[in-house]
């Protein structure tokens, strides 16, 4: 068996009240004891920071919860550094939920192999990972986006939004980004190829939307909640499809989305669907098989915001929850 290791970790010190601050976290070196029989030791290379972690650390997420003093959870790309299992050899790259720490022991059932065809492993946390699968579920599986659709995507350049836009464009739809700030407007139009871009801070959303979608919106992929949800819903075309996927506006606890009156859905003959990405795990392998070649060929853009070092995770996460990130937030922990 193995010896103890110093394990750099980020723990939750205090549940955030409102927008999280770096003071809610602490960087510690903990000791990782000897590896138990059957466990596989992994070293974190890339850590994904995602909005759902805000509800996990608040203690109100539907799947997970943690206490103060615990290592903050999160999905990572890791390298196996100790293993007695021939199916999971030393050196293999895997995806697992190690959390915000350098090393972690995992059972084999907690590991997924990173497809060998992938030249950049961080992609498995962004456009080819959970955010990408969410975008695929929303755009392809649920909304069935097709040529002629007018698709509106808020949080337009983030993990989910960036992939959703590219899937909609590939299907022949017109794409409208809602974002904030000059940097993100440029990324939306120049890097991700949206047809139109609306700044949610500097522009009047209702007016700007009416100008770029005069026939109405046929698909709205809601990643943020109100007031955007209600404003876009008022401009749905008859028979419009709405995919409810995220409520980032509400996550810091100082806002509650109510959505439009149901009468609006009736008038618009709308189809409104909820999306939980966990339901699409069985399709992940097929999703990867279809999209890895496109990413490798440069036909899909991964708009990642990479931060250096595990110690940068608290501020990078707070930046995400302030809405300041300019792409899918990933921390490069080790090489
Ligand atoms: N249902 C599911 O299974 C599922 C799975 C994955 C993700 N999601 C949800 O999808 C949404 C997008 O996730 P993501 O990982 O792609 O995040 P992200 O877009 O990378 O980051 C969040 C973005 O939200 C926008 N935003 C709008 N209003 C905000 C506010 N009041 N505070 C903070 N940010 C605000 C900001 O973009 P702009 O400045 O561009 O507006 C911000 O950059 C989240 O709501 C997430 O919970 C749901």
Contact 104, 66 (CB under 8 A): no
Tokens representing 318? Answer: 């707070």
User: Can you give the pLDDT at residue 64?
Assistant: 75
pLDDT of residue 303 exceeding 60: yes
Contact 138, 166 (CB under 8 A): no
User: Can you give the pLDDT at residue 2?
Assistant: 66
Percentage, residues of the chain above pLDDT 90: 95
Distance 246 CA to ligand 1 centre (A): 7
Q: Which residues line ligand 1 (CB under 6 A)?
A: 50-52, 131, 134, 154-161, 179-180, 184, 200, 223-224, 245-249, 275-277, 320, 323, 325, 328
Counting from 1 in the atom list of ligand 1, the atom nearest the Cα of 51 is 47
Residue nearest to atom 33 of ligand 1 (CA): 323
Tell me the C-alpha to C-alpha distance, in Å, between residue 107 and each of 18, 103, 250.
35, 14, 35
Distance CA 219, CA 232 (A): 10
Q: Where does the pLDDT of residue 11 fall: very low under 50, low under 70, confident under 90, or very high at 90 and above?
A: very high
**Secondary structure (3-state) at 27:** strand
pLDDT of residue 59 exceeding 90: no
Beta strand 5-12 with 328-332 is unpaired
User: Can you give the pLDDT at residue 1?
Assistant: 56
pLDDT tens for 237-255 read 999 999 999 999 999 988 8
Tokens representing 51? Answer: 């909005």
User: Can you give the pLDDT at residue 254?
Assistant: 81
DSSP string, 131-175: HHHHHHIIIIIIS---TT-EEEESSTTSHHHHHHHHHHHHTT-EE
pLDDT tens for 82-115 read 999 999 999 999 999 999 999 999 999 999 999 9
User: Can you give the pLDDT at residue 61?
Assistant: 75
Distance 161 CA to ligand 1 centre (A): 8
Torsion angles phi and psi, residue 5, rounded to 5: -135, 145
Distance CA 98, CA 90 (A): 17
Tell me the C-alpha to C-alpha distance, in Å, between residue 37 and each of 2, 82, 84, 105, 106.
10, 11, 8, 10, 11
- Taken in order of first residue, the domains within the chain and their CATH numbers are 5-126+303-332 (3.90.180.10), 130-278 (3.40.50.720)
Mean pLDDT of 180-195: 98
């Amino acid at each position: 068996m193995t010896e103890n290791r110093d394990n750099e970790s980020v723990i939750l010190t205090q549940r955030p009240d409102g927008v999280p601050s770096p003071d809610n976290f602490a960087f510690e070196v903990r000791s990782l004891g000897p590896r138990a029989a059957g466990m596989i030791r992994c070293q974190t290379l890339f850590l994904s920071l995602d909005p759902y972690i805000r509800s996990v650390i608040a203690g109100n997420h539907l799947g997970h919860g943690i206490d103060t003093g615990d290592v903050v959870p999160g999905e990572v790309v890791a390298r196996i550094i100790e293993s007695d299992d021939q199916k999971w050899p030393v050196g293999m790259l895997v995806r697992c939920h190690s959390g915000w720490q350098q090393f972690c022991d995992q059972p084999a059932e907690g590991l997924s192999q990173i497809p060998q065809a992938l030249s950049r492993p961080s992609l498995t946390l962004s456009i080819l990972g959970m955010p990408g699968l969410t975008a695929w579920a929303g755009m392809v599986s649920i909304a069935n986006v097709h040529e002629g659709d007018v698709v509106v995507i808020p949080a337009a350049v983030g993990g989910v939004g960036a992939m959703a836009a590219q899937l909609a464009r590939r299907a022949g739809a017109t794409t409208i980004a809602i974002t904030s700030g000059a940097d993100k407007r440029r990324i939306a139009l120049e890097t991700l190829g949206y047809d139109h871009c609306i700044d949610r801070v500097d522009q009047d959303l209702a007016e700007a939307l009416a100008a770029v979608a005069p026939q109405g919106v046929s698909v709205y992929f809601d990643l943020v909640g109100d007031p955007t949800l209600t404003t876009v819903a008022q401009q749905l075309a008859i028979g419009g499809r709405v995919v409810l996927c995220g409520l980032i506006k509400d996550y810091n606890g100082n806002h509650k989305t109510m959505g439009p009156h149901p009468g609006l859905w009736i008038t618009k003959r709308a189809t409104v669907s909820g999306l939980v990405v966990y339901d699409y795990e069985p399709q992940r392998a097929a999703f990867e098989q279809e999209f890895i070649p496109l990413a490798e060929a440069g036909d899909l853009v991964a708009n990642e915001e990479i931060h250096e070092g595990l110690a940068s995770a608290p501020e990078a996460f707070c930046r995400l929850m302030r809405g300041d990130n300019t792409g899918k937030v990933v921390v490069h922990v080790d090489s």
